[in-house]
Amino acid sequence: MTESIINLDSINPIEFFGVNNGKLDLLKKKFPLLKILSRGTQLKLSGSAEEVNVASEKISQIVQYLERNGNLSENYFEQILGDEESVDSFKDRNPNEVLVFGPNGRNVKARTAGQKRMVQLVDKNDIVFAIGPAGTGKTYTAVALAVRALKNKAVRKIILTRPAVEAGESLGFLPGDLKEKIDPYLRPLYDALDDMIPADKLTYFMTNRVIEIAPLAYMRGRTLDHAFIILDEAQNATDLQLKMFLTRIGSNAKAIITGDMTQIDLPKNQRSGLEKASRILMGVDGIGNLRLDEEDVVRHRLVKAIIRAYDAAQEEEDQPRPYVNVQRTKLAE
């Protein structure tokens, strides 16, 4: 007779045991020759050495999955118990393409063809440019991929950055210290994180600089190793700023650069460096390029119509005007 005690301190026991112990019953059904007892956050297995070892391995895989994702359906729980493959293979072929299980059971996943392509490019490349109009989920998908990498322990930290460029307002006239002035520009990044990480854990990560949110200027002089880095609103970065950012990336790091070329807020005497950077780096091994369009918009249905209307108006403005030859006639005296 062999006994083994498994601690479930690293996960939510309710997610492991299931509602009314539904998942625990599945575990007992899978291993009928074992005596399985649960007490608090501990699981006690008793039986033959072979059975205990097999059950312990399956339980370990389930715990790893829950540590990464926080949530696991009964159907998926049963699949892991009945399959000889590792939990990593289940993660990779998740039929719902869930990137992150957020608080309150929220599932974050790629919702459009463009977003799914973005996930594929990030999996295959260390740097990805994702350029497209507002509402296409560029920032949200990028943050989800970063959180997934952190939960999977593929990186040690997440760095989120944006150029601090005013969209018609003056930064100097905003109230508060520098952090309070900058935070409104970084608010979309905070909002995305709120959807994906429980509040207490997010506070811990940010206090311990596991997740860092900072203006682009703060990246100068740094080497960003073992990190998942997102440069958001990159259309507001100059050529020199983008070159500076791209040359910060260190070993075992991934970066996503997102932007919308129709919403440049730079002063008239400065040019965006985003289009140039994505163009000259296209074809470089390890760098992916993605263009999203109105078909990837996941906001209100009218946003697609608004984007199309603005694009049509811009095309009309870009059309060369017909040349009109006006001849002056001299009036007879």
34 and 173 in a common domain: no
Question: What CATH code is carried by the domain that includes residue 67?
Answer: 3.30.1370.10
- Check: CB of residue 310 under 8 Å from CB of residue 262: yes
Q: Buried b vs exposed e over 38-67: b needs ≥16 C-beta within 10 Å? A: beeeebebebeeebbeebeebbebbbbbbe
Give the contacts of 166 (CB within 8 A, at least 6 positions apart): 265
Whether residue 156 sits in one domain with residue 72: no
Task: Note whether 17 and 128 are same-domain residues.
Answer: no
Which domain-ending residue is among 23, 50, 81? Answer: 81
Residue 318 lies in a domain: no
Chain segment 237-259, per-residue pLDDT in tens = 999 999 999 999 999 999 999 99
Whether residue 324 is contained in a domain is answered as no
pLDDT for 323: 57
Domain end: 32, 48, 81, which one? 81
Residues 224 and 156 in one domain: yes
Give the other-Cβ count within 10 Å of 145's Cβ. Answer: 24
The amino acid at residue 19 is V
pLDDT the model gives residue 326:
53
- Could you tell me if residue 13 is inside a domain? yes
Average pLDDT of the segment spanning 221-231: 93
157 compared with 83, residue with greater pLDDT: 157
Comparison of pLDDT for 85 and 100, the residue scoring more: 100
The answer, yes or no, to whether residue 126 has pLDDT greater than 90, is yes
pLDDT at 174 over 70: no
CATH number reported for the structural domain that contains residue 135 in this entry: 3.40.50.300
What value does the CA radius of gyration of the chain take, rounded to a whole number of Å?
Answer: 26
Domain that holds residue 57: 2-81
Query: Cα separation of 256 and 56, whole Å?
Result: 38
Mark whether 190 and 242 lie in a shared domain.
Answer: yes
**Residue 247 CB-density burial (10 A; 0-12 exposed, 13-18 middle, 19+ buried):** exposed
152/74 same-domain check = no
Same domain, 132 and 179: yes
Residue 20 has pLDDT above 90, yes or no: no
pLDDT of residue 92: 46
Asked if residue 176 belongs to a domain, the reply is yes
pLDDT band at 135 (very low <50, low <70, confident <90, very high): confident
Residues for the chain: how many in total?
333
Which of 107-111, 166-170, 198-202 has the weakest average pLDDT? Answer: 166-170
Q: What is the DSSP letter of 322?
A: P
Q: What is the pLDDT of residue 142?
A: 94
64-72: average pLDDT: 74
Confirm whether 252 is domain-assigned.
yes
Q: Are residues 136 and 264 in the same domain?
A: yes
Residues 177 and 34 in one domain: no
- What's the confidence (pLDDT) of residue 91? 47
Dump pLDDT digits (tens) for 256-270.
999 998 888 888 888
Q: How many domains does the chain have?
A: 2
Q: Per-residue pLDDT for 67 more than 60?
A: yes
pLDDT for the residue numbered 22: 86
In a domain? residue 333? no
Classify residue 56: in a domain, yes or no.
yes
> Which pLDDT belongs to residue 127?
95
Task: Measure the CA–CA gap between 193 and 183, rounded to whole angstroms.
Answer: 14
Average pLDDT of the segment spanning 209-226: 89
Q: What is the pLDDT of residue 270?
A: 87
Give 181: exposed, middle or buried? Use CB within 10 Å, 0-12, 13-18, 19+.
Answer: middle
**Whole-angstrom Cα distance, residue 298 to residue 135?**
6
Let me know if residue 326 belongs to a domain: no
pLDDT at site 301: 65
Q: Are residues 72 and 174 in the same domain?
A: no
The pLDDT of residue 108 is above 60: yes
In the chain, % of residues over pLDDT 70 = 81
Q: Do 280 and 168 fall within a single domain?
A: yes
Considering the domain architecture, whether residues 115 and 65 belong to the same structural domain is answered as: no
Q: What pLDDT digit, counting tens, does each position of 275-329 carry?
A: 999 999 998 999 999 998 877 776 666 766 777 787 778 777 767 666 555 555 5
